[in-house]
Structures are given as structure tokens and as C-alpha cells.
Amino acid sequence: MVKVKAKKKRVYLEILRIISAFLVIFNHEVAFSFYYKTHGASQIIFLILSIITTINIPIFFMISGTLLLNKQEDYKTVFKKRISKFLIVLLLFSVITYLLRYWYGEIDQISLGNFIRSFVGGKVHFSYWFMYAYLGFLLMLPLLQRITAAIKKQDFNVLFILHLIIFTIIPLIDLFFVAHSKNGFRLSSDFNAPLATIKAFFYPIVGYYIDQKINIKKVTRKNIISMLFVLVGCFAVTAIAVIYAGNRMGYDQRYLRLFDYLISIIVFLLVKIFCEKIMKDKYTKLSKFLCLIGSLTFGIYLLHPVQKIVFSDDFHYAFDVHNNVDILLINISWCFIAFIGSAIVVYLFKKIPGIKKII
């Protein structure tokens, strides 16, 4: 049995891992983009679910920052301890996924050259894109560790405000101009502020800052209520922008992530507050179970594309439904089945010597 000592783990991070992994699976379901095709109350429900789903990868990177940016490592250690193992796992699952895609007719022909191009280009399977972003984060890890070790509140505020301007304010202004004059309002393509704009750098720093610099004990009930109001506001503005843009220019996902960073931060904080302030040190059997499931989530990320290729279509085709609610229920059911199935497989793999350390 895989032994998980809850007291050596932070339960709130394990809960966030589980949320992130589940939302990654839902992200690749039809229901994620169903707000394109529905109207009225159904559209609002699907849209809310889609907005919630956008926090999946931000949460993943915030957890990574929490766990890795509080260390001080040199490049040799990072390459030996982290990057080499990560590349082995990514290569292994890319080979498996590539062969399965050929076997199930998603690829017409295979060759070593085509695989190498697909692997280097991140095109073996679309759902592995964030693994390449994570690899970039690992390559810069020692530098980021030194930067975050000296980060101050003012530094964090600058990063946050820049992110707010670039990913929320400018897109909203752009939406207004495009909708009324067909001429956009956008930043120069030459402008960049990497730590604020590259998500594989921004979110780890945010996760580290929340974990290390915010004293949860000082968070009041008034603070929590304020966060909930901000959360509602984020959902409301995003929904209005998406529907407004959809009605005028056709639906897409351009405005779906207007506040993904702010929603992610609030969810991250609320889960941490619940675990560390309300639950405190009450490590129950549930806590240990959550820590166990959390330890399996990286493997679930890796196995998800395999399950999608092999089982997903057959599962969905088994239900001949056209009602929106039924489709949503089937999609959610598949997410639970895929999550649980992957968790069981990863749990068994971890019992194999050598495998536990890399997945």
C-alpha cells in the first residue's frame, strides 16, 4: 500500500490538486464549450461551469510554486532531481499516446521522424501543452527561487496589476472597440513583462506569495465575505462579456479567462483558510485519504489523454441523448469515471519499484 502521512503534507494543497486534475478532465469535454450552443438559464449554467474550469492549470502552477519556490537549488540539482525525471515521464507517455492515436485512426501514419517533430513541437496530444510550460518553469526554477526569496509586497502588487491590465482591462476595452467600430484595441506585440504575462512564471510566484507571505490567521470573516463578493463579480463580468461578444461577433473563448487568475487566487485562499483555520490540525481519515488521492494527480494528468483516446468515445456513444442536462450529466459522469480509473491505475503503478518516484 502507498503510505501517505497527512501530517507531512498540507491538506489544502492536496484538495487543490484534486480540483485541478478533475477540471483538466472536464476541460476536454463537450460540455466545456456548450455555452456556445445554448440560451437562457442553460447557457448561464454551462458558462459558469466553463469559467470555473479555467482555474485548472493556474491552480496546478500555483501549487508548483508553493512547493518548489521556497527552496534554494542550483541548476545541476534541478536537472538531476526534477527535469531528467520529468522528461522521462513525458517521453514515455508521449510514445504511448502517439501509438494509441495511430491505432485508433487519429494519425494516418507513424514514423520516428514524425514522432520527434510532434514531441518537440508539443503536438503528440493537445492536452499535454501545459507539460511543456511546466518544463520551462523547471528550467528557470533556480532563478525564480532566488527572485521569490526576496519578493516584497510591492513587487507582488506590480505583477498583479500588470496581469490585471494586460489580461482583463485591455481585453474589455478591446471588446468595446471591436463591437462598435470593428477596430481592436491591443498592446504592441513587442511589449512583454514575462513574470507578469507568462503563466508558467506568474502563477507559481502567486502560489508562493500566498503560501509564504499571507498570514491566514489574520484573515477575518469580513475578508472572506469580500472575497466571495469579488468572486461573484468576476463571474458576472465574465459572463456578460462572453455573451455580449458572442451575440455580436460569434462565440469563442477569448473572454472566458478574463478573471481566471483572480478566481484562482480566491479559490486557493478559501481552500487554505478552510483547511488551516477551520479544520486546523484535525488530521482525520478523510485528510489521509485526500492526501493519498492528491499524490496520484500527476499520474492522472498523464493518463487522461490515454483514457480519452481509448474509452471516451465509446462511453459517450453508448448514450443517445440530445437534452442539454443529460449531456452535462454524462460528461460529468465520464470525468468521475476517468478520474477514478486513472487514480486506480496510478496507485497500482506506484507499487512498482522506481515508478513511485517519477509519477
pLDDT digits (tens, 9 = 90+) for 161-176: 999 999 999 999 988 8
Highest mean pLDDT: which range of 54-58, 108-112, 175-179, 326-330: 54-58
Contacts for 199 with CB less than 8 Å, ≥ 6 apart: 57, 58, 61, 133
Nearest to 148 by CA among 63, 67, 209, 73: 209
What pLDDT does 80 receive?
92
Percent share of the chain, pLDDT over 90: 64
Among 153, 243, 260, 261, CA closest to 202? 261
Task: Give the model's confidence band at 4: pLDDT under 50 very low, under 70 low, under 90 confident, else very high.
Answer: very low
pLDDT of residue 264 exceeding 60, the answer is: yes
Chain mean pLDDT for the chain: 89
Burial letters for 117-128: b for 16+ Cβ neighbours within 10 Å, e otherwise?
ebbeebebbebb
String of DSSP letters for 106-149: SSS---HHHHHHHHHTT-S-GGGHHHHHHHHHHHTHHHHHHHHH
| Higher per-residue confidence, 127 vs 31 | 127
Q: Give the confidence band of 337 by pLDDT, cuts at 50, 70, 90.
A: very high
Question: Does pLDDT of 294 surpass 60?
Answer: yes
Q: Does the structure show a pLDDT above 90 at 78?
A: yes
**pLDDT tens figures, 277-293:** 777 656 678 888 999 99
> 258 or 247: whose pLDDT is higher?
258
How many percent of the chain have pLDDT more than 70? 96
Nearest to 254 by CA among 168, 164, 159: 168
Supply the pLDDT for residue 282: 63
Whether the pLDDT of residue 318 is over 90: the answer is no
Of the candidate ranges 106-110, 198-202, 277-281, 348-352, the one whose mean pLDDT is the lowest: 277-281
The answer to whether 20 and 59 have CB atoms below 8 angstroms apart is yes
323-328 mean pLDDT: 78
